[in-house]
Structure 1
Amino acid sequence: MEAKDLPVYQFVEGKPLIVTDGMKKDFWKNGFIIVRNLLTNAEVIKLRSSLERPESAVMGESYDQGDGDGRNIRLTLWNHPGNDLTGMINRCEKVVNTCQELIGGEVYHYHTKIVQKEPRTGGAFQWHQDYGYWYLNGVMFPDLISVQFAIDRADVGNGCLQVLRGSHRMGRIEHGRVGDQAGADIQRVYEAEKVMEKIHVEMDPGDGLIFHCNLLHRSDQNNSDRRRWMMIACYNRADNNPTKDHHHARYTPLETVSNKAIMECKNLDDLSGKWFINPHKANPECLPTNPGKVR
């Protein structure tokens, strides 16, 4: 059953997604909002079908990450959105403009990842804040925002995201290593759980969760017979350019596209402009640089 008073909004196909004062208030009070059908049914089917193809160039860049409890999560991670289908989603107005209105200024694409939890084998994510480790990349302020798109149905049974409502107001918590992941100070998390509501964010395909970089979140292993795939696009405010070179993008102006560009896109596998990151491979193309305007 869905938690009470969740900050839930609805995207209506063919109309702009207007960020109201109430939406902003909900975002800053809770640390997140949910937008139902942020990707339309046709858009999420197109995305899913593209990624499921054996020849998918994007999925060919996937790698495994240990969860610290004997299981793996499969990830695909890239800087710069590019011009393929995933790039159109990363750059479309309903996503970029909404993030800019909520975080309070121009944003650029920090990175995107596809998280793949396979049936019966998919691993967990430990409690963490994204800024808990992005801080180490020379990002001075917690002015980052992420959008999680549900590619499959996500619920308690297959390891949906869990959040502590309002935990972004705690500020950054110290993080350490858990398996291949960064995990928040667990004693601090235990105390937070006593005073903050834990919410299982259940989503249907196409739903979007937009959340602050200091929101504490985690997810369980997938012990179900259903897979759980998500795409998470992360944006940094333009005036929060990292102070040092690192493995994610520094400020690069983002050229937005219309929402129609998603369904009009015919480019599924030309990955020019994208810089993939795979810790198990040498990625000379991912060496930090500022290439100027990247589409």
Structure 2
Amino acid sequence: MISSLTTQQIAAYHRDGYLILEGFFLKAEVDKLYRTALEDDAMKKNALDLNDQTGKKTKLSLWFTPGNDVFGYMTRSRRMISVIKPLLDSDSPVCHFHSKLMQKEPRVGGAWEWHQDYGYWYKNQFMFPDQLISVMVALTEATKQNGCLQVIKGSHKLGRVNHGFAGEQVGADMVMVNNALKTMPLVYSELKPGDALIFHSNLLHRSEANLSDRPRWSVISCYTSQSNLAYNETSTAWKVPVDIVPDEAILEWEAESLSNADFLKKENDPALKETGWEKQVN
């Protein structure tokens, strides 16, 4: 298992805005995570439906505080924090902002429009995008056919692009996206279960609808540095250093139900609220 990054991997992340770590989690760990995602009623009860521009739905369940459940153990694992820490532009402790289970069901799973995570998190008024990072862990295979993540390599260097509403989602100004696509490579991030895609908060990315007969499920954990203040965020997880657990916790420790997690309610998400400037983007 990968427990630290090489100098070359760190340089690649800063150059490209993303990094893929193959086999970051073991098959037995992924099997346990996926089984929990399928069986834990809390995931189903707290899933949000977000429509894309065609009306197709993507389901996600989002929670803030990493607990003593199997996903909390994953988020807080030593290997996770060890690879994140050197990529953040800060010496402050690593904090967990939120995690989300993404569920794209066969034939009906919707698209995610082009966006930057900081296009959302700008509304939470985080100060420093270089101190925000996301880690996507594939629970099932992610391919072109079932709507894997697409990224524009190096697009994090654009800075924040203006965002507006695209369906119920927040999407980037397509003039800038199309300019970026003419300038930088488009990469399909195909992943096997257990692979991890780490990406910068300003990396432009999207995913197409799942028109295949196979599901695409993944969990995305988002982190920030404790020094990165958020002036419009009601949760408090973002300023609490991660309580790191050993890697073996995922498989060996007793796990609580996710019913104890502090899930996001759709009406409380600042990213989905009008501020006025959304109308000025294409």
For 1:103-118, what aligned pairs fall within 5 Å after superposition?
Answer: 103-104=88-89, 105=91, 106-118=93-105
- How high is the TM-score relative to the length of structure 2? 0.90
The structure richer in helix per residue is 2
Q: CA deviation at 1:18?
A: 1.8
What's the counterpart of residue 279 of structure 1? 266
CA distance in 1, matches of 2:62, 2:238: 16
Q: For the Cα contact (< 8 Å) 1:156–1:200, is it kept in 2? A: yes
For 1:27-66, what aligned pairs fall within 5 Å after superposition?
Answer: 27-53=13-39, 55-66=40-51
Provide Cα deviations, 1:201-241, integer angstroms capped at 9, x if missing partner.
00000100001000000000000001100100000111102
CA distance in 2, matches of 1:75, 1:101: 29
Q: CA deviation at 1:254?
A: 1.4
Q: CA deviation at 1:278?
A: 2.2
Over the matched positions of the two proteins, sequence identity in percent amounts to 40
Q: For the Cα contact (< 8 Å) 2:123–2:232, is it kept in 1? A: no
Label 1:245 to 1:120 Cα distance change in 2 as closer, same or farther (>3 A): closer
CA distance in 2, matches of 1:278, 1:245: 13
CA distance in 2, matches of 1:107, 1:113: 18
| 1:240 counterpart SS class | coil
Please identify runs of 4+ aligned residues in structure 1 that moved more than 4 A.
Answer: none
What's the counterpart of residue 10 of structure 2? 24
Which has the larger displacement, 86-95 or 99-108? 99-108
What's the counterpart of residue 56 of structure 2? 71
Structure 1 unaligned spans of 5+: 1-11, 284-295
Q: CA deviation at 1:247?
A: 5.2
CA distance in 1, matches of 2:253, 2:106: 30
CA distance in 2, matches of 1:64, 1:47: 21
What's the counterpart of residue 191 of structure 2? 203
For 1:83-122, what aligned pairs fall within 5 Å after superposition?
Answer: 83-104=68-89, 105=91, 106-122=93-109
What's the counterpart of residue 226 of structure 1? 214
Return the letter of the residue paired with 2:108. T
Label 1:59 to 1:88 Cα distance change in 2 as closer, same or farther (>3 A): farther
CA distance in 1, matches of 2:163, 2:235: 19
What's the counterpart of residue 154 of structure 2? 166
Structure 2 unaligned spans of 5+: 270-282
What's the counterpart of residue 272 of structure 2? none
Provide Cα deviations, 1:91-114, integer angstroms capped at 9, x if missing partner.
001111211111143210000011
